[in-house]
Amino acid sequence: VIEQGNYILYHPAMALRLRTTEASETFSALWAAVSRLNEILAEEMYAETGMSLERYGILLRLAQAENGAMRPSELADCLPLTRSGTTRLVDRLVADGLVERRSHETDGRGFLVALTTEGEESFRKAGRVHLRGIDEHVGEPLTEDEMKELRRILRKISRGTDDLEAD
């Protein structure tokens, strides 16, 4: 979790054999750009809504859910969070009035987590802030062709990290 600068370098005093390569410079640039972008978007989000970008991401997931509700375990699967972490997260969201636990109709073992009206409103407001920030910091500096080209290149990387190695 380095914020800026090179990730790999040649350091004479340590007689490192490690050198910067085309790939490592590319990775550094990728890392630095995304870290910085995220930092800016998080600052804007906090300044205008009092909400963290992480929390916005959670509300987004709930908003995306099929019937506006998810099982806690589903939420855990789509967030970088364990199940126990999710339990406590939901506790906090409930305490803040953004989310409610609904009993599950057919399976008594668990619940459904759903946005409250207040949660939906917070999400909508935050979404506008986030979208505006992205348009400003990604859309404005780039042309449409550059965005397309960027996505094309990123897809090649993503294919390379996909675990489609089965078979």
Partner DNA sequence: TAAGATTGATAGATCAATCTTG
Partner DNA sequence: CAAGATTGATCTATCAATCTTA
User: Could you say whether residue 43 binds DNA (CB under 7 A)?
Assistant: no
> Binder to a copy of itself among 36, 83, 88, 102 (CB under 8 A)?
36
Return the residues of window 125-154 that contact a copy of itself according to CB under 8 A: 127-128, 130-131, 134-142, 144, 146-147, 149-151, 153-154
Task: Looking at residues 90 to 129 of the shown chain, list those that interact with DNA (rule: CB under 7 A).
Answer: 90-92, 101, 104, 107-111
Question: Is the separation of the CB atoms in 76 and 61 below 8 Å?
Answer: no
Considering the complex, state which of residue 109 and residue 143 has its C-beta at the smaller distance from a copy of itself.
143
End-to-end CA distance of the chain: give it in Å, rounded: 33
State which residue, 107 or 146, has the beta carbon closest to DNA: 107
Q: Whole-angstrom Cα distance, residue 146 to residue 84?
A: 42
For residue 14, give the 3-state DSSP assignment. helix
Nearer to DNA, 60 or 150 (CB): 60
44 neighbors 133 (Cβ within 8 angstroms): yes
Are the C-beta atoms of 74 and 134 separated by less than 8 Å?
no
Which residues are near DNA by CB under 7 A? 54, 71-74, 80-92, 101, 104, 107-111
